[in-house]
Chain A
Amino acid sequence: MREYDLEEILAEYAEDNIETALPEEEDILTEEEFTEPAAGLPYAEDNVVPEENDAQTARSDDAEVPAESAEDPDTQLTRVFKAPKPEKTEGRRVRRETESRREAAAQDEEAEEPKKKRRKKPKKESFGKKLGFGMLSLIFMVISLGVLAWTLQNVHPDTSKTTESSRSLGNTNLVSRLDTGLNNAKANALSDIAYIPKHYTIPEGETVAPRPQESGFGSVTPENAATVMDVIQLARDSGLLEGQDVIFNPNLNFEPNTNIQYYYDETILTIIWKELIDGNTVTCCEVKVADASQFRRKLVDDTFGSPRKLFATSIAASVNSVVAMNADFYMFRDFGIVVYDRELYRFSEDTYTGMYKKYNCTDTMFVTEEGDFLFWHRLQEATPDQMRAFIEENHILFSIAFGPILVENGALTPCDWYPAGEIDRGYSRAGIGQKDHLHYFYMSLNHSAQREARWTVNTFGERMYERGLQQAYCLDGGQTSEIVWRGAPFNYIDFGGEREVSDIMYFATAIPESGGTP
């Protein structure tokens, strides 16, 4: 064990205490004095346990130290070494000796003053400094708030990558519209002396079609179905039917207690009814339009990829449709080819089901600017650039990506496997077909309040084919299958209620609400 000279140690400690007790000495100390307490540290670190009487003395001394002093951080070092304190008399003697030693040392220092280097002891943070930091913080806060205000005023999201601006630049032909308007103006001007057929079109850039005329709507009971033939004759006389036969027949097996509804104006003839086929309620709709612009597609928000979904009735009302139907519910799945407003939006070459690619795992139906159906068969290969070229060459306006193809070029096309629509199960079905130029037919088989629908896709295809269609294509079925007439679902929807969807197809009148001019 290490040996210590108790007297020397006590002297050092007493000196420490004296130094800390001397206010005049606190501010400026010599280098040696400043380092003195540190010299005592080994004592503490060696953990020398003082004699018991010393410890008792220390306790009594502690009791004498005022609480205020004990709290002073500047005396912490002193308190650490307070434990082994000598008795008071001994302390006084030691203090006297220390003082005399210090005086001697001070005299020496005075003599050597120029040589000695003096150092300032670190001061406590002054009020001035605090104020300085406070001011600095305040300045930074003001700057930060200023930056925030400027940011809110001037910095806005760059919308170039948002879905809204993902819409491509459109093209329209106002002069063509003027041509149409002038033709109709001429027809009006010469109406007393000559008949000039009017021509109406809905401009391609228009997202909303003209509102149909209320006087164009009609409704008859199945018993009076022949009345509808009078309306058909009007359409024939006006040239709207272009000499084509119609699918509607007053002798069909109409569902009892349901009316046959129709709409007719110079640009569109629509007949919608319910009939019984194989004991199932089937909703049918026949449409003949004068201009291809009247067969339209509508995505919610007019934007591909919009996450918003709406009831088909809401979408149909927003575009003034005469009749609207569900399409492919393109946001529900990520495969197929999606074209909208002549732009290719979905064409994924990722693999689907391990053997197909997403873009060609389904048949796709394209609608051209002439209003014709054009099919892209599943497994048919293309690159995105080839597809864009195909769209441009064929003047494709939009696509429907569901399928399969039911009828192609007048021939039935059975299907044995398909990735969408559970084709082999009895299910509610919907499909659209083209009979002739600008002449279309929609059919849906749904549950009804009385019975459940049970048709496979191939059975459904046969029923469509029997209507003499040239082209027919299966749409999304089940609860999505819906046809909207005058603001409400015309068919019975599975589970008794509409489902929110991302898109519809619709037919509209082309007669401007303001009359014949553009």
Chain B
Amino acid sequence: MRGRFRLFWLILAVLFAGMAGFACFFAMMYGSIYNRPDADPVETVTRFFDSVQARNYPEAYACLSDYASLGLENEPESAEAKAMYDALRGSYSYTLSGGSTVTGLEASQRVVLRALNLRMTENAVQQQVNGILEEMVTVMPASEVYDGNGGYLTSFTDAIYREALNRALQNTDALCSDTQLLIQLKYMDGTWKIVTDRSLMTALIGGEN
């Protein structure tokens, strides 16, 4: 009995020494092994979307694990795109759906992002085009409407599109849609950071839903 009792402790001691040795080896190979998440992933998600809404992009990018910039601070090239982007930025709203799930150094949080939908806007614009075309053809001189081949001038079609877009954007609420997002996060540098994925990026520019 006495001998067995000592053997048990010997095995336990060897086991713990082995684990300690493994930890040392692991640390040597991969650096520090201590990494305990102590922040709240929800805080990061909230900060990111609040910053995007406030157009504070450096703050928003600081919440990302894999991108230094998403280019949201840039201005679109065309006047129509600028109008569209302004409407898009003004339409952002979000709600957290349920609590966050933390597994080790990874976490996830469901978010419903409401934003102007590009596809719906395109459809709304398309519905306006023919009506505006009829109006403008009747009020504008032919020289500003047709080119030499009988086709429409580019300046004329651009004007039609601009007008159609303006009319469509007068009621942005009707053009907004909800996108369910599962935001993935990973713990790094002492805080939670968002792993940017395609669905998040697409939703931010009013894409698929």
The answer to whether A178 and B36 touch across the interface, beta carbons within 8 angstroms, is no
The answer to whether A174 and B119 touch across the interface, beta carbons within 8 angstroms, is no
Interface size class of A (residues with CB under 8 A): 35 or more
Bound form: Cα–Cα A170–B66 in Å: 6
Check: A259 CB closer than 8 A to any chain B CB. Answer: no
Contacts of B80 in A (CB 8 A): 182, 186
Bound form: Cα–Cα A169–B161 in Å: 38
Interface size class of B (residues with CB under 8 A): 35 or more
Closest chain B residue, CB of each to CB of A513: B208
The answer to whether B161 and A155 touch across the interface, beta carbons within 8 angstroms, is no
The answer to whether B67 and A148 touch across the interface, beta carbons within 8 angstroms, is no
Contacts of A169 in B (CB 8 A): 64, 66-68
Closest chain B residue, CB of each to CB of A148: B19
Bound form: Cα–Cα A189–B164 in Å: 9
Bound form: Cα–Cα A141–B11 in Å: 12
Contacts of B43 in A (CB 8 A): none
Closest chain B residue, CB of each to CB of A208: B198
Which residues of B in the span 64-95 have a Cβ within 8 Å of any Cβ on A? 64, 66-72, 74-78, 80-81, 84-85, 88
Rounded to whole Å, the gap between the CB of B206 and the closest CB of chain A is: 8
Check: A51 CB closer than 8 A to any chain B CB. Answer: no
Contacts of A161 in B (CB 8 A): 30-31
* Contacts A174-B204, A190-B160 given; does A179 touch B34 at CB 8 Å: no
Check: A156 CB closer than 8 A to any chain B CB. Answer: yes
Rounded to whole Å, the gap between the CB of A153 and the closest CB of chain B is: 9
Which residues of A in the span 124-162 have a Cβ within 8 Å of any Cβ on B? 137, 141, 144, 148, 154-162
* Contacts A176-B71, A182-B80 given; does A159 touch B188 at CB 8 Å: yes
Check: A8 CB closer than 8 A to any chain B CB. Answer: no
Contacts of B96 in A (CB 8 A): none
Bound form: Cα–Cα A144–B11 in Å: 14
The answer to whether B70 and A172 touch across the interface, beta carbons within 8 angstroms, is yes
Which residues of A in the span 166-190 have a Cβ within 8 Å of any Cβ on B? 167, 169-179, 181-183, 185-186, 188-190
The answer to whether B35 and A156 touch across the interface, beta carbons within 8 angstroms, is yes
**Proximity bits, A385-414, B CB within 8 Å = 1, else 0:** 000000000000000000000000000000
Check: A355 CB closer than 8 A to any chain B CB. Answer: no
Check: A431 CB closer than 8 A to any chain B CB. Answer: no
* Contacts A158-B34, A162-B30 given; does A182 touch B152 at CB 8 Å: no
- Interface residues, chain A, with chain B CB atoms under 8 Å away: 137, 141, 144, 148, 154-162, 165, 167, 169-179, 181-183, 185-186, 188-190, 192-194, 196, 203, 205-206, 514-515, 517-518
Contacts of B33 in A (CB 8 A): 155-158
Check: B154 CB closer than 8 A to any chain A CB. Answer: yes
Contacts of A188 in B (CB 8 A): 122, 126
The answer to whether B69 and A193 touch across the interface, beta carbons within 8 angstroms, is no
Contacts of B129 in A (CB 8 A): 189-190, 192-193
Other A-B contacts than A156-B33, A169-B66, A175-B71, 12 sampled, CB-CB below 8 A, are A156-B104, A156-B187, A170-B66, A171-B68, A173-B69, A174-B70, A174-B72, A175-B76, A178-B118, A179-B77, A194-B151, A518-B205
The answer to whether B130 and A192 touch across the interface, beta carbons within 8 angstroms, is yes
**Proximity bits, B1-43, A CB within 8 Å = 1, else 0:** 0000000010010001001000000100011111110000000
Bound form: Cα–Cα A514–B209 in Å: 11
Rounded to whole Å, the gap between the CB of A367 and the closest CB of chain B is: 22
Bound form: Cα–Cα A312–B183 in Å: 32
| Most B Cβ at <10 Å: residue of A137, A175, A190 | A175
